[in-house]
Structures are given as C-alpha cells and as structure tokens.
Structure 1
Amino acid sequence: MMKFPSVVLGVFVVLVGLLTGADSGSIGQCDLSSPPPSWLTTNATGILEYAVAGQPTSGNNFCIQQTDHPNSLHELQVAYHIDLGDNTASSHAAEHHQRFSSQLDTQNGCVNNNTRIVYCFPLCLNNTLQNMVIESALKSSQPADVAQDIQRTTQLDWAITVMQVDYNDPNTHINASVFLVPDAWCSVYIGIRPKLGFDYLYEIQLGKILH
C-alpha cells in the first residue's frame, strides 16, 4: 500500500475584498468578463484525473480546459459563474492555495471524523452538504464515481468537479477562488487512506451556477 509522504499538501487562505469587477480572459467557452461579476476560477497542476457531474461543461457558465505544456506539466483550469442570489452585494471572494509544506501530522478540519481521513480542509459553510461530500469521497478512489455519487446523494443541480491530486509530485499546486456562501459554494480538500488499495487525495468543488 502506498502511503502519503511525510511532506503533505498544506493549505492557507487569503481573503480579498468585496466583488467589484469581473475577471478578464476566458476558460473554454466561459468569458470571465461577462456580468454579473461572480466568477470563480481554479488553476491546478498535478491533477491525475478529473470528473464532472451535475451540469454540462459545453455551455458558458461552467467550463473546463486542460493544457499540456512542453515541460510535461498539465494545467487544468475550471470556471464557474456562480448564482449568488440575494448574497451578491455582500459576498466576499476568498482565494486558497494548496502547496507542499512541512506539515507532518494528520490534520482533519472537517465535520466528518472517519479514521480513514488523513487530511481534510473544507471551504464549505453548509456542514450537512460538507459531510455528504466527504461520505461520497470515502466510497471510491475513482473521481467519476465520486462525482456521480455526490450528485445522486445531494440531489443538487450544481456544477460538480472532482480532481484527483498527485501528492507525490512537488510541482503540484491548486489556486482556487471561492465564495464563503453556504447556499452557493462548497469545496473540500481531502486525503484518504482506504482499508485496501492506494491512498488518494481529492479537491472536490460544488458551485451553484447561473442558468
């Protein structure tokens, strides 16, 4: 059985100001300058596999783009145009970065205390939804199975992305913007040691997108 290395992926969060304007550029068919200014984006390297559910990525409010660079680095970009509803005026954006650090101990900051969880960091203020996401992650090391199970158990029509992270690659990093709004966003970064098989690490994101 492969174990997580002694150096694990650490997380820190940086809060930024009120949303006053949209991002620029595009990801796939998503124009990040399109109003309202409620876009969230993720830029990641070191993603072994990913899966989506809940909403198609062929529209212009939920897009995924993978780019292969000459140095064999694969970059995955995800865009969500979030439906903030009545929270639009008061919502803050937060940016979180996941990178290698010298954290040595098991850390679980999530609501689920299953002993198979080696590391868990949530940006999900809805504890019920957070726990449902974690329960789905515990069921499988296959991103597609986890994404489908989240959609089935939550019964939400949100955009769902499950990324399997390469914890052995020192170039792995994830930069993601989020909204700390319980009825519009939920993300969980979780490392799991199953009873049988290899350890696995996920970045799981759920967003209520505009229609």
Structure 2
Amino acid sequence: MVLNYIVFIIFSTSLVLTNGNIGKCDLAIAPSTWLTTNATGILEYSTAGHPTNGNNYCIRQTETTNFLHELQVAYHIDLGNETYSKTLMKSVVRSISLDSQNGCVNNDTKVVYCFPLCLNVTLQNQVIESALKSNQPAFVAQDIQKTTKLNWAITVMQVDYNDPNTHINASVFLNPSAWCSVYVGIRPKLGFDYLYEIQLGKILD
C-alpha cells in the first residue's frame, strides 16, 4: 500500500491547559509544565524510558462508538529554571496523493514525510534512524531509548493514514533540553508504508 496523505498543521502560542486528569496525572498539580496529546486514529502505540502508571507520565486509550482509537498522553515536563511558552500543534491527515515533503535533518530517501518539533538536531536524527528500522512501535521505542541513552519518557504512536478522521492535537515546548517530537512517514523498500508520531519528554522525577 502506498502512503498517500497530506498533513495540515496549525500552531497557537496562546494555549492554556485546563485542569483534569489523564490516568493518575493531575494536570492541576504544579509546576504548570504539563504537555498533553489527544490523538484519534492510532493503530498501535508503545512506550519506553518511564512507566506510565506514575504521576508525571500517563497514557489513556479508549475506543469510541465509531471504533476510532483515541489516545491521550500527559507529560509533566522538567524545565528546570527555564520558562517556555507552550505551542499547540494540530495535525489532520487527508488521504490524497503527496510527493515527498521532508523537513527533517535526515535525508534518507525512505522518509517520504517528516515534520519535526525537535530543536536538538542530533536527537532528531537519532529518532528518525530508529523509525527507519521497523514498523513496530515497541521496537522503535526501545531502540530510541537504547541509542539516545536518555532518561526521558518516550511515546511512539503508529498513525492510521487511511482514516480521514485521524488527527493529533499536541502541546509542546520548543526546548531542546526537554522536548523532541517528530511526525515521520516511512516508505520501506519492502512491506507497507507507515506513519509515526514520536514524542520524547524530560519529565519530573
């Protein structure tokens, strides 16, 4: 199957997170450095780096009445003494033909789409190299942890690019010392194409 999709991305720097809970994560707990992701159309996901049953990194997956898989992720980010504004990324997948659009540092020809919110270019490249190795989120998550050697929370989501209702709303910090996310579509030499949303966050202990 050929990876045919287009991604619309909108940014807002005025995002204010509301109180609430995702798993054991209480978004009202200080400091106010919570980042959240709300995604629909996630085929599979995997994590590494930190357990998701604590208070600073949580995941909740539900299936709606129309059989869309929804995933919510919360990260309590460790910014140290730095202050950064949150940015909200909204991405919507549409099933139409798309030529290669690679905005990342990795120029491998198997990368047919790539959009980074990762200012650490070394880390960005390591994430993409892991994504190129496998269409299995569990393998990619573990490989990222092994190659980066970071004690960060890692979430790898495989996105359904055939579902017109697929979307991802994610708040991020553009801080190279605390956050890295990459939206990357891969066309391997053998097998089916695949699309990942990969997120890494330095969370509070």
TM-score band (shorter)? over 0.9
- Residue 4 of structure 1 pairs with residue 3 of structure 2: yes
Give the total of aligned pairs. Answer: 204
Q: TM-score, normalised by structure 1?
A: 0.93
The equivalent position to 2:32 in structure 1, one of 9, 34, 37, is 37
- Residue 200 of structure 1 pairs with residue 198 of structure 2: no
Deviations 1:118-157 (A, max 9, x none): 0000000000000000000000000000000000000000
Q: Kindly indicate whether the alpha-carbon contact (under 8 Å) linking 1:22 and 1:35 is maintained by their aligned counterparts in 2.
A: no
Q: Structure 1 residues 206, 47: CA separation in 2 closer, same or farther (over 3 Å shift)?
A: same
Q: How does 1:102-117 map to 2 (within 5 A)?
A: 104-117=98-111
Structure 1 residue ranges without an equivalent (≥5): none
CA deviation after TM superposition for structure 1 residue 105, in Å = 2.4
Q: How does 1:163-202 map to 2 (within 5 A)?
A: 163-202=157-196
- Residue 25 of structure 1 pairs with residue 20 of structure 2: yes
Q: Kindly indicate whether the alpha-carbon contact (under 8 Å) linking 1:53 and 1:148 is maintained by their aligned counterparts in 2.
A: yes
- Cα distance in 2 between the residues matched to 1:65 and 1:175: 15
Moved more, 96-105 or 109-118: 96-105
CA deviation after TM superposition for structure 1 residue 100, in Å = 2.8
- Cα distance in 1 between the residues matched to 2:17 and 2:193: 38
Q: Kindly indicate whether the alpha-carbon contact (under 8 Å) linking 1:38 and 1:81 is maintained by their aligned counterparts in 2.
A: yes
The match for 1:99 is 92
The match for 1:86 is 81
Q: Kindly indicate whether the alpha-carbon contact (under 8 Å) linking 2:87 and 2:172 is maintained by their aligned counterparts in 1.
A: yes
- Cα distance in 2 between the residues matched to 1:103 and 1:124: 26
Structure 2 residue ranges without an equivalent (≥5): none
CA deviation after TM superposition for structure 1 residue 103, in Å = 7.2
The equivalent position to 1:138 in structure 2, one of 132, 142, 157, is 132
CA deviation after TM superposition for structure 1 residue 70, in Å = 1.6
Report the secondary structure of 1:133's partner residue: helix
Report the secondary structure of 2:29's partner residue: coil
- Cα distance in 2 between the residues matched to 1:166 and 1:195: 20
Q: Kindly indicate whether the alpha-carbon contact (under 8 Å) linking 1:22 and 1:38 is maintained by their aligned counterparts in 2.
A: no
